[in-house]
Amino acid sequence: DADVTQTPRNRITKTGKRIMLECSQTKGHDRMYWYRQDPGLGLQLIYYSFDVKDINKGEISDGYSVSRQAQAKFSLSLESAIPNQTALYFCATSETGTGSDEQFFGPGTRLTVL
């Protein structure tokens, strides 16, 4: 089984709809991240969380919100989706105190907003 899972893997929605993307991990990591990937723009950080009670904005948080329901779960919401939020979204995890800063990425969710 995959260590970092994302649901759904693909989603098509309409402008103005509320969308939630979910991320779960079985790695036992304390840190979780949401990234957006657009062609030619690399990976841009939306939000990150260092533990259940910690939420931080990234480079492009406008139009997004997150919820860290448990150590293993981190959800990304688009309250009112717009077409320029069409992108590939990745969740990632990492662990504090191991001496490694490696991030482990999920398989991604492809979101299309019409």
Residue number, 70 or 101, with CB nearest to other proteins: 101
Residue 58's CB is within 10 A of a number of other CB atoms, namely 16
Q: Report the C-alpha gap between 113 and 82 in whole angstroms.
A: 6
What number of CA atoms fall less than 13 Å from residue 41's CA on the CB side?
A: 12
User: C-beta of 41: minimal distance to other proteins in Å?
Assistant: 6
For the segment 12-71, give every residue that binds other proteins (CB under 8 A).
33, 40-45, 48, 50, 56, 58-59
User: C-beta of 105: minimal distance to other proteins in Å?
Assistant: 3
User: C-beta of 54: minimal distance to other proteins in Å?
Assistant: 10
Q: Report the C-alpha gap between 54 and 18 in whole angstroms.
A: 23
Q: Does 90 bind other proteins (CB under 8 A)?
A: yes
Candidates 11-19, 20-28, 72-80, 100-108 — which segment interacts with other proteins by CB under 8 A?
100-108
Count of residues making up the chain: 114
Q: Does 92 bind other proteins (CB under 8 A)?
A: yes
DSSP 2-45: -SEEEE-SEEEE-TT--EEEEEEESS--SEEEEEEEETTTEEEE
Instruction: List residues near other proteins by CB under 8 A.
Output: 4, 33, 40-45, 48, 50, 56, 58-59, 90, 92, 96-97, 101-103, 105-108
